[in-house]
Amino acid sequence: MSSSQPTLNLNDRLLLPHSDTTIPRLGFGVYQLRDSICTAACLEALAAGYRHIDGAELYRNSHIVRDAVRRSGLERKDVFLTTKVGSPMSRRRATTQNASIKEAVARIGGEEEGDYVDLLLIHVPGSSHQHRRNLWAALERIHSKGIAKSIGVSNFGVRHLKEMREFATMWPPSVNQIELHPWCQQRELVSYCRSHGIVVQAYSPLATGARLSDAVLGAVAAKHGKSPAQVLVRYSLQKGWVPLPRSAHTGRIRENADVFDFELDPEDMAKLDELDEGVQGARFPANVK
């Protein structure tokens, strides 16, 4: 491995703004994982060395993630848990109210005194300034009580982040979780986040598997003797993002974490950078502005 890229490993963490909380550089996503499949996937991920699970109220599996962490034998402090609130699908739960957000945190973090979630995010910006203002104020109150160690946002564009400066007591948000992979790089947004110290998390770093047969990606993978998925995870890491790959398959869960024994050289990174298609390349275009 050359010295051009700082050495990365599965235990690497980044410090989040406004706190002494550190976030693991690699996470495990649980979107669309249900019941025993979710339990098995989380246990496998934790056994493989992941220490970061990304959940959301919308996924309806927070209690399963919580149970898997308890069953894993790991101490709670050693597993970084994220949940998200305020999605349109769950707005009927009145998530701008403190009690409802506390319930969301408890579902994944626990219900006992002193239980917490490591990161609490607004899932989507929603349709109005007032909605974002109210919801962020509620997250700030939850944070002040120690129930959420850090707070941030997801799917926020540059205009939403700038708008937050008008009302946020805590700015910048610790994290902005957005769709990122070679075909959807959101360069202006990533640059804005980076320049203001906002940690960028990459959901769907494998582009939901839809581009794994891409010829350019395949050539880079063959060059390194790795799978296309491993190259995509490594690409995210070398871009400075926090990738959140998701899988229900034992082999793929482990494969996606086995990305610390090779390095993409500048030529590889440039070839993957050239695949950018903007919003047309997004798997969730409604969330890409």
Q: Catalytic residues, which ones?
A: 59
In our burial notation (b when 16+ CB lie closer than 10 A, e otherwise), range 161-188 reads bebbeeebebebbbbbbbbbbbbbbbee
Q: Specify burial of residue 274 (Cβ count, 10 A radius: 0-12, 13-18, 19+).
A: exposed
Contact assessment for residue 254 and residue 248, using Cβ atoms and an 8 Å cutoff: no
Tokens of 276: 């950018």
Q: Which residue has the tokens 């793929």?
A: 252
Measuring CA to CA, how many Å separate 109 from each of 10, 115, 123, 199, 264? 23, 6, 17, 22, 36
Residue 171 near residue 19 (C-beta atoms within 8 A): no
CA distances from 224 to 138, 220, 243, 253 (A): 47, 7, 20, 19
